Amino acid sequence: MDRKDPLDKIRNIGIVAHIDAGKTTTTERVLFYTGRTYKIGEVDEGTATMDWMVQEQERGITITAAATTCHWKNCRINVIDTPGHVDFTVEVERSLKVLDGAVVVFDAVNGVEPQSETVWRQADRYNVPRIAFVNKMDRPGADFDETINQMYTRLSANASAVQLPVLEDGSLVGMIDLVEQKMIKYKDDLGKEFEILPIPQEMLPRSNKARLLLLDKLSTVSEHIMEDFVSGKPIGPQLLREAIRKMVLKNHFVPVFCGSSLKNRGIQPLLDGVYEYLPSPLDVPAVKGMNPDTGEYEELTVSDSAPFCALCFKIVTDPYVGKLHYLRIYSGKVTPGAYIYNASQRERERITKLIQMHANRQEVIDIAFCGDIAAAVGLKEVKTGDTLCEEKSPILLEAMHFPEPVISQAIEPKTKSDQDKLGLALHKMEEEDPSFRVAYNHETGQTIISGMGQLHLDVIIDRILREFNVEANVGQPQVAYRETLTKKITSTGKFIQQSGGRGQYGHVVVEMGPPDEPGKGIVFEDKIKGGAIPREFIPAVKKGIIDSAKSGVLGGYPVTDVIVTLVDGSFHEVDSSELAFQMAASLAFKDGLRKASPVLLEPIMDMEVTVPEEFMGTVVGDLNSRRAKIATMSQRKNLRIIKAFVPLSEIFNYATVLRSITQGRASYTMEPSFYQEVPLHIAGKIAVRATSSR
Ligand SMILES: Nc1nc2c(ncn2[C@@H]2O[C@H](COP(=O)(O)OP(=O)(O)OP(=O)(O)O)[C@@H](O)[C@H]2O)c(=O)[nH]1
Ligand SMILES: [Mg+2]
């Protein structure tokens, strides 16, 4: 079967931005103008197609990235609308990993906001070419030029306008297209009809100036433009578009569009921009993967006839069809009924059904091609980040990075019958969301859930209660501390019981120490020589260590960043068992931790507070009393911006504090940045509190 949409006419794009910039509102218009929906969905009315979860509709925010597909001028655009709230950053991360291009939305009044910076950095990390859309041009105080200016200063983006807003009596009626040198003027409220007119006389000086700026940037890449520019010849739109496309694909330039999604202005030209300037799967650098058999890196071929290779970037539990595995197909094609090879888990599995997702609506398809984003049904063991391929051409794509949770909360089923349901629900949530973790504390019998923030856990708890019908009590949210060690030591663990009958015999010697750089988790290395411990017991030793690292020796917090090397041990012909070695390893690890000067780690938040001048002193003073390290202070219009790193434990409920010390005139955002050692005098108190509450 041949593909309907040629590869060069496919655009896989993400819509990314700070919370509330208008990503979903924009996506809803995209669906409407491309004929996907016949009526515009509104976030404010809870009718947005893309925000389909009840929790999204009730709260008016996007929580989970939703995918859909539409056609615009012979081009197929696969869109992922992502959430802006920092608690759901993993959704942006995994979307950018599999997308070829992005539309970054800005609020024209607020300019470049903290989360705009975060998503911009994420897109940089994955080298995703992007175009910018300055939205909300209808709002009083909207400032197109200032927003572009902030793109330079705050994002170091080589951005330039390709449009200018046209306002009449304060309302946005259209835009000047600097490439075509025409004016687009809307004729109806729904924004379906517009006319193309010459640029009005009074706007010519401004538009000429903006066009010169654009040409100046482009002349650095295009010799033609440079020559024509220097010799004063007119430069045609086609030449300009080619130059823009070339620079965007190299990630050297960001064309800036403007509009108002809510007022249905500017979406069609933006869609043209997606088609004109963002890459098709053929335009992005070849994706590389490692052949697990040879250890060599290989480049994937972007072609339907190449061997199949896809990345599973998201799993969603569907009440009717079971698990949906979202795939980005990088090469080859796949049909339902196909056996695929999961190179990450080294397992064969069968895809029973293929689905094209439209937010939560499913359209069954009978083939998915190279460059597509589709969902597979029938896969059982495939996890987020796994590579699926053909068994005879195995390949492993680069794994995804997921952030560490910073907040935890105890959750307890109300009745015995809720217990099993809770376990199942938590397991499903953990499968869907790599930034959500579940741990069981054997000492207290408590189940502890951890996530990226209060909202993240609130939403998960809400889903557990409603979707899975579980009755549960939840504790107060706590900072998710961790433990690690600071010294290299050797530790011995023995689990020996030899009185009568068959005994137990496990004996291990491990070296334990910190890694060169943090973020490694628990690393186990086996350096046993001469069969001091038989091969078959090594996995049990590893399990003993991984299990006991789940709760440390200071406050029972998870242990991280320890390299454990198994160097020696002994065994007994009859009495040794997996269990005995697991126990011995666990004892060695716990004892080793105690000896290796353990310390408590706490999450440090990267915070930005926007405050009117007169409250600046009060806010800085308060932050200083919260162990904050002020990084920078700057000014934007008449507001002061304080950037600081603050321990999460000090700013629980900061919203209330900030409101009261600034009469509600300041705002802040924060996101987890890194883990840092807790100062000794504070660590003592935390550890005591933790152990006494357990
Ligand atoms: N005035 C005005 N309001 C807008 C515009 N676009 C969106 N809004 C409003 O801004 C709010 C947020 O819009 P959303 O589309 O949900 O923003 P989002 O970026 O998807 O937000 P998250 O997904 O939660 O990060 C809603 O109340 C919209 O009605 C616009 O062009 N003008
Ligand atoms: Mg949204």
Whole-number Cα distances in Å, 206 to 163, 213, 236: 11, 11, 19
> From the CA of 663, how far away is ligand 2's center (Å)?
29
Helix %, strand %, coil % of the chain (to 5) = 30, 35, 35
Nearest CA to ligand 1 atom 21: 20
Q: For residue 265, what are the β-bridge partners? A: 260
Nearest CA to ligand 1 atom 24: 61
Nearest CA to ligand 1 atom 4: 262
Nearest CA to ligand 1 atom 13: 22
Name, in order, each residue with C-beta under 8 angstroms of 295's C-beta and a sequence gap of 6 or more: none
> From the CA of 638, how far away is ligand 1's center (Å)?
24
Whole-number Cα distances in Å, 600 to 453, 481, 524, 684: 20, 7, 21, 9
- Separation of CA 379 from chain center: 23
Structure tokens at 561: 């960043």
| Rounded Cα gap, residues 76 and 73, in angstroms | 8
Nearest CA to ligand 1 atom 23: 62
| Rounded Cα gap, residues 154 and 117, in angstroms | 7
Look at residue 588 in the predicted model and tell me its pLDDT.
Answer: 97
Nearest one of 408, 559, 525 to 476, comparing CA atoms:
408
Look at residue 692 in the predicted model and tell me its pLDDT.
Answer: 58
Q: For residue 508, what are the β-bridge partners? A: 493, 569
Which ligand has the minimum distance to the alpha carbon of residue 172? 1
Look at residue 236 in the predicted model and tell me its pLDDT.
Answer: 87
pLDDT tens readout for residues 199-250? 999 999 999 999 999 998 888 777 777 887 778 778 889 989 999 999 999 9
260 CA closest ligand 1 atom index = 31
Look at residue 202 in the predicted model and tell me its pLDDT.
Answer: 93
Sheet holding 489-497, edge to edge: 489-497, 504-513, 562-570, 522-526
pLDDT range class, residue 693, cuts 50, 70, 90: low
19 CA closest ligand 1 atom index = 25
Nearest CA to ligand 1 atom 30: 136
pLDDT range class, residue 263, cuts 50, 70, 90: very high
Task: Out of 437-451, 494-508, 618-632, 662-676, give the one with best mean pLDDT.
Answer: 618-632
Query: Under a CB-based contact definition with an 8 Å cutoff, are residues 75 and 10 in contact?
Result: yes
Question: What's the rounded mean pLDDT across residues 368-381?
Answer: 94
- Mean pLDDT across the chain: 91
Question: What's the rounded mean pLDDT across residues 32-54?
Answer: 90
| Rounded Cα gap, residues 267 and 260, in angstroms | 8
pLDDT tens readout for residues 496-533? 988 777 789 999 999 999 998 888 889 999 999 888 99
Query: Under a CB-based contact definition with an 8 Å cutoff, are residues 451 and 435 in contact?
Result: yes
Look at residue 690 in the predicted model and tell me its pLDDT.
Answer: 67
What's the start-to-end Cα distance of the chain, in Å? Answer: 61
Question: What's the rounded mean pLDDT across residues 245-273?
Answer: 96
15, 18, 24, best to mutate for ligand 1 pocket (most atoms within 8 Å of CB)? 24
Structure tokens at 283: 């335009």
Look at residue 688 in the predicted model and tell me its pLDDT.
Answer: 67
Alpha helices in 176-259 (DSSP H): 204-218, 223-231, 237-249
Nearest CA to ligand 1 atom 32: 136
With a Cβ cut-off of 6 Å, ligand 1 is lined by: 17, 19-25, 43-44, 61-62, 83-85, 135-136, 138-139, 260-263
> From the CA of 448, how far away is ligand 2's center (Å)?
29
Range of weakest confidence among 60-74, 150-164, 209-223, 252-266: 209-223
32, 40, 43, 55, best to mutate for ligand 1 pocket (most atoms within 8 Å of CB)? 43
E strands in 514-666:
522-526, 562-570, 599-612, 629-636, 639-647
Look at residue 630 in the predicted model and tell me its pLDDT.
Answer: 95
Has residue 691 got a pLDDT over 70? no
DSSP letter for each residue of 387-408: EEEBTTB--EEPPPP-PPP-EE
| Rounded Cα gap, residues 311 and 371, in angstroms | 11
Pairing of strands 562-570, 599-612: unpaired
15, 25, 89, 459, best to mutate for ligand 1 pocket (most atoms within 8 Å of CB)? 25
Structure tokens at 45: 């009315």
Look at residue 329 in the predicted model and tell me its pLDDT.
Answer: 96
pLDDT tens readout for residues 17-31? 999 999 999 999 999
Helix (H, G, I), strand (E, B) or coil at 678: coil
| Rounded Cα gap, residues 14 and 328, in angstroms | 13
Q: What are phi and psi of 509, to 5 degrees?
A: -125, 125
> From the CA of 287, how far away is ligand 1's center (Å)?
34
Range of weakest confidence among 218-232, 257-271, 369-383: 218-232
Helix (H, G, I), strand (E, B) or coil at 637: coil
pLDDT range class, residue 403, cuts 50, 70, 90: confident
| Rounded Cα gap, residues 213 and 222, in angstroms | 15
26 CA closest ligand 1 atom index = 15
Query: Under a CB-based contact definition with an 8 Å cutoff, are residues 124 and 116 in contact?
Result: no
> From the CA of 142, how far away is ligand 1's center (Å)?
14
pLDDT range class, residue 442, cuts 50, 70, 90: low
pLDDT range class, residue 446, cuts 50, 70, 90: confident
Look at residue 681 in the predicted model and tell me its pLDDT.
Answer: 86
Look at residue 615 in the predicted model and tell me its pLDDT.
Answer: 92
Look at residue 443 in the predicted model and tell me its pLDDT.
Answer: 64
Look at residue 477 in the predicted model and tell me its pLDDT.
Answer: 87
Question: What's the rounded mean pLDDT across residues 340-350?
Answer: 93
Look at residue 226 in the predicted model and tell me its pLDDT.
Answer: 80
Has residue 689 got a pLDDT over 80? no
* Nearest-10 crossing angle of helices 454-467, 416-432: 130
50 CA closest ligand 1 atom index = 20
Nearest CA to ligand 1 atom 11: 20
> From the CA of 63, how far away is ligand 2's center (Å)?
8
Look at residue 635 in the predicted model and tell me its pLDDT.
Answer: 85
Which residues lie at CB < 5 A from ion ligand 2?
23-24, 62
